[in-house]
Amino acid sequence: MQKRRIRLHSDDRPKQWYNVLADIKMNPPLGPDGKPIGPEMLAPVFPMNLIEQEVSTERWIDIPEAIQDVYSMWRATPLIRAINLERALGTPAKIYLKDESVSPAGSHKPNTAVAQAYYNKEFGIKRLTTETGAGQWGSALSFSCSQFGLECDVYMVRISFDQKPYRKTLMRTWGGNCFASPSDRTKAGRAVLERDPNTPGSLGIAISEAVEAAVSDETGQTRYSLGSVLNHVMMHQTVIGLEAKKQLEQEGVYPDVVIGCAGGGSNFAGLALPFAHDKINGKEVDIIPVEPAACPTLTKAAFSYDHGDEAGYTPLLAMHSLGHNFVPPPIHAGGLRYHGMAPIVCQLVVEGICRPESVNQIEAYTAGLQFARTEGIVTAPETNHALAQVVKEANKAKEEGKEKVILANLSGHGMLDLGAYEKFLDGKLEEVELPAEVLERAAAVLSQYPKPEILKSR
């Protein structure tokens, strides 16, 4: 009988994170004057121990024992062989999924949330502020703060705040405070509400609110925490790919294709970066970030400097961006509704190490439904985008008659996203494409900022 779950012994869990900055060149973040910023400029926002990780070029960073202890609640996560899906597709491909849905918060997000809570606690911080789209990150940070005795304030994008009420309850259960964004609690939020009282909100707006709430605390005991985009976040997530490598070694295989959904880039990078390291060093592997057609940063947006938030509080980052004032359509994959993308992921795309694709939400839910009916797992709307690409690659292998190995990240479960599934099953979910004029507006926004260099690491 073929194994459906490939597990790691606890002794084989990664003891270090992989830092891809040792192997690629990056454009530096810029300040308001257009010059590269130093670590001291980030100090009001992040603790210095995390800032040191953000700028580090060491290839391997030790995972502290206290973080390992919390990880041990659910790590190592199982690697699933999707045998029933393979049979349903009639493909010669072997399909493996790294199941991050088994974490306490139901997604990959605690991999960095636990680390960030730990480092802030070590630095003497009492409260963390953050944003969240679908609620996965806010839930993960609330859980992680509960593990280290920190307070947690979460600004949740309004459309998801309304669509996903139980995410709010989950945050509150772990002691977090959840506010709809834009809110009247911050200057940034009030400015947006004045312009558009009925706005669905965006991650860019929520980031502005969370950053403002952190830096305006006169006690100096509050810092901001980000669930994606930044370098240290990508690094913390590499436990996913490092574990998957060892599990595939047990199977005696190496992936031909590596797939993850991509909104800000964290779950994709977590799975892909250890394999990107191999590709940089000559290994043949097709690495695919998959994004929604309604918010296609990597596939359609320009590679430019832009702010990571709507109000322009953050430094300028070199990334593919639809413009920091872009408000995405209210698709149900709330975790993928971000105007930009992690600079690390963008650099890998620029260098041709990754090949981005986009799918619409009908394709995504069709794949999610097929996965649920074959493998029994109801996946998150974000994960469904990765599954749609898995199906495409499996069908491609069938057409070519090639026995490919496909690895994808099952980044979260969909048990709190059943409202969207209900709409899909009732035929009420619509395809949403990016209007052409959005790119024209983005070009106007981005024209005021410097252009990043097109760097090559190889």
Instruction: Write down which residue in 226, 252, 269 finishes a domain.
Output: 226
In the numeric block, which tokens belong to residue 149? Answer: 């005795």
38 domain-assigned: no
In terms of Cα–Cα distance, which of 328, 398, 361, 386 is closest to 100? 386
Mean pLDDT of 103-120: 97
Confidence of residue 218 (pLDDT cuts 50, 70, 90): confident
377 domain-assigned: yes
pLDDT at residue number 440: 87
More confident residue, 327 or 241: 241
Whether 178 and 262 share a structural domain: no
362 domain-assigned: yes
66 domain-assigned: no
421 SS3 class: helix
pLDDT at residue number 171: 96
Residue 331 has pLDDT above 80, yes or no: no
CA 223/CA 365 separation, integer angstroms? 37
Whether 420 and 321 share a structural domain: yes
Whether 310 and 431 share a structural domain: yes
Whether 92 and 129 share a structural domain: no
65 domain-assigned: no
Place of tokens 């899906």: 85
Amino acid at site 258:
V
Do the beta carbons of residue 143 and residue 172 sit within 8 Å?
no
Whether 206 and 241 share a structural domain: no
Residue 108 has pLDDT above 90, yes or no: yes
Number of structural domains in the chain: 2
CB atoms within 10 A of CB 36: 13
Residue 251 has pLDDT above 60, yes or no: yes
Whether 124 and 101 share a structural domain: no
CA 160/CA 158 separation, integer angstroms? 5
pLDDT digits (tens, 9 = 90+) for 336-373: 778 899 999 999 999 999 999 999 999 999 999 999 99
Instruction: Write down which residue in 226, 250, 285 finishes a domain.
Output: 226
pLDDT digits (tens, 9 = 90+) for 260-290: 999 999 999 999 999 999 999 999 999 999 9
Average pLDDT, the chain: 93
Instruction: Write down which residue in 226, 256, 277 finishes a domain.
Output: 226
Mean pLDDT of 196-221: 91
* b (16+ CB within 10 A) / e for 147-173: bbebbbbbbbbbbbbebbeebbebbee
Residue 11 has pLDDT above 90, yes or no: no
Whether 148 and 284 share a structural domain: no
Q: Which domain holds residue 160?
A: 110-226
60 domain-assigned: no
pLDDT at residue number 429: 87
Percent of the chain at pLDDT exceeding 70? 97
CATH number for the domain that contains residue 170: 3.40.50.1100
More confident residue, 379 or 200: 379
Confidence of residue 329 (pLDDT cuts 50, 70, 90): low
Mean pLDDT of 82-98: 98
173 domain-assigned: yes
Mean pLDDT of 102-111: 96
